[in-house]
Chains A and B, each alone.
Chain A
Amino acid sequence: MKRAAANPSRRNVHPGRNSAQAIAVTAPNTTLPAGILQGDRRAIARAISEVENETAAGDAIIRGIHAHLGHALVLGITGPPGGGKSTLVSELIGAFTRRGRSVAVVAVDPSSPFSGGALLGDRIRMERHALAERVFIRSLASRGHLGGLSRAVFRVVDVLDAAGFETIIVETVGAGQSEVEIADIADIRVVVCPPGLGDDIQAIKAGILEIADIFVVSKCDLPLADRTELELNYLVGLRPDRSRQPRILRVTATTGEGTAELADAIDAMAGACGRRREERLRERMRRMIAQEAGDAVRQRLHGVESAKLDELCAALGRGELRHEDAVAAAIRLAANGGA
């Protein structure tokens, strides 16, 4: 652990109320990132809201912390609705904090497509860690984003990474088969398979089989757990890439049985994660640049007075120009400031 971050004994836990408000309003680009890097909980909490709401302050925060990313081990937990993900996360929080590590959790629950509201219930299962010193839990609504996460979750993980949390656990919404977005964010992906899914386990294999590093047969106190384990063994055997065979572990999160073995398996894999994390960080930076570059091009093309651009648009309208050529020419124009 490289900084005092996420260690409340060494950080400013109580920023003055007025200064905290000033932070959000006047100088988000300097002070909120500083608070995050110090591991100040209120600053972290507010920063997450800013990046989640995609505000200008949120953009500034991301720019202010980008040099401090890539230290945390990011663990993704996915699996069907009600499969026992949150209960398992709670167990893992216990296991990792016992091993002396700080842990942050991002738990995503679905937003209602009708009202846009959401019931964020994952944390009920983690309530016993609410007061743990080196634990931070944040609930996010998916806000209409498909793929098991929310649009802002990458940036939320970045904030927690910059805050110095050593392990970050991301719980997806209850996922079926296509929600494999977790693969892009996590160093290690855990797929939770409760017993008694029946034919659904066949459905799960479609996307999730390929991304899993560890399968957890959850709720092993239930009678059908043996069968689920057998089916998983069979499905894993079908995987073409034999060099990356996932582990299959049994856990009963309600009693804690199997939790230590799961934490051991994660620790064993974490060592080998360096390269994947490097790639992920590069990918992350590219995503960030691509997004901001896109915004910048759009802004310039909308904002600038340019005879050349007018000409280009007219030619496109008359059908004298192919669409792709017009776009390529516009990007060149934007790069040259519209001239």
Chain B
Amino acid sequence: MSAQQRRIRVLMGKPGLCGHDRGIALVVMALRDAGMEVIYSGRHNSPESLVEVALQEDVDVLGVSILSGGHLGLCERIARLLRERNVDDIVFLAGGFIPPEDIPQLKAMGVREVFRDDARLEDIVRFVEKAARERVAA
């Protein structure tokens, strides 16, 4: 049986009450156009449901978009849940309106990379491709 090409699977969602969804929509489309299978779970996801969905969908990457503050608390909870469910091999990314001084703290929690409002879509795509490839190889 001829094997299907393995595709990078990404879950993108918005935890918390933040309703800004223009940025995440652009990222979702850029990843799709780069050949990835992108699950978009919409707005107002709880950290618990994001992690459960990431597990059920067996994704390589979980990306969250947060513009209304609250990123420190939300990302910490998501990272902790990923560890608790033994799925912290999933690459965890965050993006949106995030002050640069918060980035070291986010990374210490387990966020692999942070893309601020000046991020270029090409750079995001390239990073996701690389991180997903490394995860599969690991």
Contact = CB atoms under 8 A, between A and B. Distances in A.
Which among B7, B45, B85 has the greatest number of chain A C-beta atoms within 10 A? B7
Contacts of B9: 49
Contact of A55 (B3, B7, B52): B3
Interface in A88-134: 111-112, 115-121, 123-124, 127, 130-131
Contact of B42 (A15, A52, A124, A138): A124
Interface in B22-81: 28-29, 31-42, 45-46, 48-49, 52-53, 55-58
Contacts of B37: 111, 117-118, 120, 139, 141
B58 A48 contact: yes
B1 to A, nearest CB: 5
A54 B4 CA distance: 6
B35 A116 contact: yes
Interface residues of A, number: 42
B1 A123 contact: no
Provide the main secondary structure of the chain A interface. mixed
A264 to B, nearest CB: 29
A205 interface: no
B6 interface: yes
Nearest to B33: A115
B33 A139 contact: no
Contacts of A44: 56
Nearest to A19: B86
A202 interface: no
Contact of A53 (B3, B86, B87): B3
A318 interface: no
Interface in A246-295: 291, 295
Nearest to B31: A117
A130 B54 CA distance: 10
A62 B35 CA distance: 27
A152 B86 contact: no
A242 interface: no
A111 B52 CA distance: 24
Contacts of B7: 116-117, 141, 143
Given A42-B55, A124-B40, A115 B1 contact: no
10 contacts: A21-B89, A41-B56, A45-B55, A53-B6, A54-B3, A117-B37, A121-B40, A127-B45, A139-B37, A139-B39
Given A54-B4, A119-B29, 10 more contacts: A14-B86, A20-B86, A112-B33, A117-B7, A117-B32, A117-B34, A121-B39, A127-B41, A130-B49, A136-B56
